[in-house]
Amino acid sequence: VLSGCGVYDGTEIHEASAVLVHLSRGGAEVHMYAPDMPQMHVVDHSKGQPAETESRNVLVESARIARGKITSLAKLTTTDHDAVIFPGGFGAAKNLSTFAVDGKDCKVNREVERVLKDFHKAGKPIGLCCISPVLAAKVLTGAEVTVGHEEEEGGKWPYAGTAGAIKEMGGKHCVKEMVFSLTPSYEAHVDAKNKVVTTPAFMCETELHNIFDGIGAMVKNVLKLTGK
């Protein structure tokens, strides 16, 4: 499930690409979805500032990542899929929810909430990375997720405050590292009860290959939980 195209106002492109590579390597058949709705705003990524006169559609922008093969989120059902994965990027906190503005008091997009609840009810795994675990924390009461560490540690974890918001929303936050490990579960947290798998990704200031490997651990565990 995508939320646009670009870290500051949509899906983090490197994360989406990593998810797709690891799914491909795992032999999964992938379908991509996004809500058909306007973005919260458009950010000029060369300046890191909102472009006040622009407006873009989440589905249309997400199609850039999907190479045009994308469907409205309203058509995503559990009957046609074994699992669902949400990459990160500020789009998860701006378009899929209002977390970027409202924090713990955020609202989750109606279709996103439906998808999360439907997959949870069906006992099918849900994967999330970077900021997107807040979606599960808000919708699935008591879900265990990780966004990495709970302290900024001199800028290594610049969004560490998210962990506190997750706790205030009723979720359980589990501290995880974002470094290379021979044990994949080290970089991803598996909530076996709720079948929710999360990894910090760009919540940490680290090398790209560490982020890629962490996402790989998340995808591997999601595929394992499908039992296929």
pLDDT tens readout for residues 118-152: 999 999 999 999 999 999 999 999 999 999 999 99
> What integer best gives the mean pLDDT of the chain?
95
pLDDT score, position 184: 40
Strand order across the beta sheet in which 84-86 lies: 84-86, 126-129, 196-199, 189-191
Distance (Å, whole) CA 132 – CA 200: 9
Catalytic residue among 5, 129, 130, 204: 130
Q: Which two tokens stand for residue 185?
A: 């579960």
Distance (Å, whole) CA 219 – CA 217: 6
3-class SS at 177? coil
What φ, ψ does residue 198 adopt, rounded to 5°?
-135, 155
pLDDT score, position 187: 81
CATH 3.40.50.300 fits 13-226, yes or no: no
Question: What's this model's pTM, rounded to 2 decimal places?
Answer: 0.95
Distance (Å, whole) CA 14 – CA 25: 16
For the stretch 69-102, pLDDT in tens is 999 999 999 999 999 999 999 999 999 999 999 9
| Domain range summary for the chain, segments of one domain joined by + | 13-226
Active site annotation includes 130: yes
For the stretch 47-68, pLDDT in tens is 999 999 999 999 999 999 999 9
pLDDT score, position 168: 97
